[in-house]
Copies of this chain bind each other. A is one copy, B any other.
Amino acid sequence: MDSLNEKFSKLGVDNAPGQETKQITDELDHTGEKYTGKTVDFSHGDVNAFEPIPGTLSEFIKGVNIGGEQAYTEYKGRIFIRENVSEKLSLFTGAAISADTQLIITPGTQGALFLAMGSLIGRGDKVAIVEPDYFANRKIVQFLEGAMISITLDYLKSDDKAGLDLAQLENAFKNGVKVFVFSNPNNPTGVIYRPEEIHSIAQLAREYGVAVIVDQLYSRQMFDGRRYSHLCAEYIRPENLITIIGPSKTESLSGYRLGVAFGSQNIISRMEKLQAIVSLRAGGYSQAVLTAWFNEPRGWLEDRIGAHQRIRDDLLALLRKVEGIKVRKTEAGSYLFIEIPELTVTMREFVRILRLQAGVIVTPGTEFGPRFTKSFRINFSQEYSSAVEAIKRTIHMIERYRKG
C-alpha cells in the first residue's frame, strides 16, 4: 500500500469546508481574549437563512409516492426528469442538449466533477487547472495520477476581466495538456469570465484538441445585472466539453445531493459507466426535486440575488476600510476571497484562532492553490446581521494579530 499511502497523504480533508472539527489546535496561541458572538460558518451557505426553493419537499414526497419507478431509475437518472432538466438547461445556456445522450444526473456537482475528470484523465495526462480555483479539482487530478499544470488567474489585476493568463494557457495547451478544468463564476473569487475570455478558451481548446470541463455551479446568481457567457453555446467550441451545474448553491438544495453534467456524448457515456460503479445513481427520490429547479416562483431568484448583493456590499464596505486587505467585488455567487495583511501568526493558526476565539469559520486560501497563504474564502450566503457581526469580529482579530 506504499504508493497508495503517498497518494492518500496528499488527499487532506481537515481544512476542507465543513470539516473544521478535524483541525489540530494543540499548537494554538491561547493568550488572546475571546471575542465571540453568534457563530457564523462561512465555509458554506446557511440554508436556514436562505431556504430551499419553495415546494421542493413536496416534489420529493411525490417522488417517494411514485415508488419503485422513482427509486430505481436508470443510472443516468429518470428519463422523464432528464427531459425536463435538459429542456430548461438548453433554454438557460442556449445550447441544444439531448436528454437521451448528452446529460447525466449525479449525486451533487461534486459527483459530476469526479465522473467527468475520471472519464477524461488517465495516469500521467497533463491537466491544466486555474489558480485559484475549487480545491477538489486539484485533489481529483492527484487521485487520478494526472500531471497538474497551474494557470494563473490574476483576479486582482483589473475589474474588466476575470484575469486568466491566456498566454500561459496556450503555452500549456501547446505542451500537451489534454484536459482543462475551471469554474465560472470562479470559486473562490466570484469573478466571471468575460465573453472574450470564454471565446479564447473555446478557440484554444478547439485548436489544440483539449477537452474542457467547466463548473458553472453559480452561474444563475449574477450581480449588478451582469451577463454570463456559456462556453457550451460558443459557435466554435471544444470537441470534448462537459458543463457542470446543480441546485446546491443559489437554490439551497445541497441537502438533496443533486448535480447535472451535460455535453459531449462520448464523455457522458463514460460518466454513466463510471457512475455505475461509484454510486449507481443520484438518489432516486431526490431526482424528483429537479422539476422545481428553474421553475421558481416569479421574483424568487431576483429577491435572492438582491439579498446577496446587499450582504456583499455591506461586508465589502467594512473590509475595504482595513489597511492591507485586498479583495475583489464578487460578480456572481456568494464567495469573497480575502487577502489580509501580514500577521504575527500563520494563516493556518489564524483560521483556528478565528474559529475558537471569535466564532467565525472560514476556509484557508491554500485550499484553492498553494500560493494563497495570505487569503481565506467566505461564503456570505448567511443571515444578514450575523454575517456583518462576524466580519466585524474577523476584522478585530486581524487587527489584534497584525504584524508591526
Q: A4-B122, A11-B274 are in contact. List 8 more A-B contacts (CB 8 A).
A: A4-B270, A47-B71, A71-B254, A108-B280, A110-B277, A136-B277, A140-B277, A254-B284
The reply to whether A270 and B8 form a contact with Cβ atoms under 8 Å apart is: yes
The 9 closest A-B pairs by CB, nearest first: A71-B255, A257-B283, A255-B284, A11-B273, A48-B67, A255-B285, A110-B280, A4-B122, A111-B279
User: Which residue of the partner chain, among B256, B274, B276, contacts A16 with CB atoms under 8 Å?
Assistant: B276
Contact of A72 among B18, B57, B74, B279 (CB under 8 A): B18
A236 CB within 8 Å of chain B: no
Rounded to whole angstroms, the CA-CA distance of A185 and B247 in the bound complex is: 38
A201 lies within 8 A of chain B by Cβ: no
Residues of chain B contacted by A46 (CB below 8 angstroms): 68
Bound-state CA distance A277–B284 (Å) is 21
The listed residue (B51, B120, B140) touching A4 by CB distance below 8 A is: B120
Q: Size class of A's contact patch?
A: 35 or more
- Pairwise interchain contact B284-A19, C-beta atoms closer than 8 A: no
Smallest Cβ-Cβ distance to A272: which chain B residue: B13
> B residues within 8 A CB of A4?
119-122, 270
Interface residues, chain A, with chain B CB atoms under 8 Å away: 1, 3-4, 7-8, 11-13, 16, 18-19, 21, 44, 46-48, 51-52, 57, 60-61, 63-64, 67-68, 70-75, 107-108, 110-111, 114, 119-123, 136, 139-140, 143, 178, 252, 254-257, 270, 272-274, 276-286
Contact B74–A21 (Cβ < 8 Å): yes
CA distance A178 to B2 in the complex (A): 12
